[in-house]
């Protein structure tokens, strides 16, 4: 049963990952109305949240970012098209299409906060990622150098999330000849280019991190610490 839950959680994670592509296909290709898509986003966010809560493993705040943001964005998108909202705010008509595009911006903001605060209250999230990739780091001579390296890597991640949020925000309100062109630009950047850039940064972090670990352990092997008993003699 736990394996089925894990598979469902993984599937939900993939859906959240490809959110821009799903929004693009729904709105542009299949002509789904934004308010109906918003309902799906709300239900998806609730289901995703339930799966995270039901996870028996250790729960970290980062795990709740996607489901909570998806629920809030979906709810906001649906409410903007509600009759009583349109009566109070007539200019809100048609704005739900913009609201559902805010997910990448809010996600970047949330990850910036998490990466930034993890530098203040270590270990940094970048270090946690490195340990997840190579658990052998802990307890070795490479742990301290990696903590310092990952703190610098976290700064790079923070800068990336700020810049990516700004570009993502620009793609929401970009003016083009047609709405379809605007939706395509938004989907291409937020559903492809962003992930390529993140992959490049992560790849460099892994490669440079492994080089640092190898260098540190090699130096320790060539210059082993002196035995206190031998030093006393």
The answer to the question of residue 57 being in a domain is yes
Let me know if residue 227 belongs to a domain: no
Q: Which residues contact 190 (CB under 8 A, 6 or more apart)?
A: 20, 101, 104, 168, 171
Task: Return the residue matching tokens 């970048």.
Answer: 126
> pLDDT of the chain along its 233 residues, tens only?
466 766 777 788 778 778 888 888 887 778 888 878 888 999 999 988 888 887 666 666 777 888 888 899 888 888 877 666 656 666 655 667 788 899 999 999 988 998 999 888 888 888 888 888 877 788 888 888 889 999 999 999 999 999 999 999 999 998 888 888 998 999 899 988 999 999 999 999 999 988 888 888 887 777 665 555 544 44
Q: Are residues 127 and 75 in the same domain?
A: no
Residues 6+ apart with CB under 8 A from 184: 24, 28
Domain span including residue 38 = 1-100
Query: Domains in the chain: how many in total?
Result: 2
Q: Are residues 166 and 177 in the same domain?
A: yes
Q: Are residues 96 and 108 in the same domain?
A: no
Q: Is residue 137 part of a domain?
A: yes
Query: Does the residue 232 lie in any domain?
Result: no
- Predicted TM-score (pTM) of the model is 0.79
In 88-211, beta strands by DSSP E: none
As a whole number of angstroms, the distance between CA 130 and CA 122 comes to 14
Determine the Cα–Cα distance for residues 188 and 177; give it in Å rounded to an integer.
17
């Amino acid at each position: 049963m736990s394996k089925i839950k894990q598979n469902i959680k993984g599937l939900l994670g993939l859906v959240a990952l490809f959110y821009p592509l799903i929004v693009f296909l729904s709105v542009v290709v299949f002509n789904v109305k934004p308010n109906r898509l918003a309902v799906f986003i709300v239900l998806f966010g609730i289901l995703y949240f339930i799966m995270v809560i039901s996870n028996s493993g250790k729960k970290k705040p980062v795990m709740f970012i996607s489901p909570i943001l998806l629920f809030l964005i979906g709810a906001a998108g649906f409410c903007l098209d509600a009759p009583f909202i349109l009566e109070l705010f007539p200019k809100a008509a048609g704005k739900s299409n913009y609201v559902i595009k805010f997910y990448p911006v809010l996600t970047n903001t949330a990850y910036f906060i998490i990466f930034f605060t993890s530098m203040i209250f270590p270990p940094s999230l970048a270090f946690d990622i490195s340990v997840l990739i190579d658990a052998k780091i802990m307890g070795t001579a490479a742990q301290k150098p990696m903590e310092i390296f990952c703190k610098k890597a976290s700064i790079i991640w923070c800068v990336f999330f700020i810049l990516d949020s700004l570009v993502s925000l620009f793609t929401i309100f970009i003016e083009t000849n047609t709405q379809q062109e605007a939706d395509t630009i938004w989907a291409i950047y937020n559903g492809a280019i962003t992930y390529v850039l993140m992959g490049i940064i992560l790849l460099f972090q892994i490669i440079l991190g492994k080089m640092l670990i190898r260098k540190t352990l090699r130096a320790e092997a060539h210059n082993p610490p002196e035995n206190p008993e031998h030093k006393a003699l």
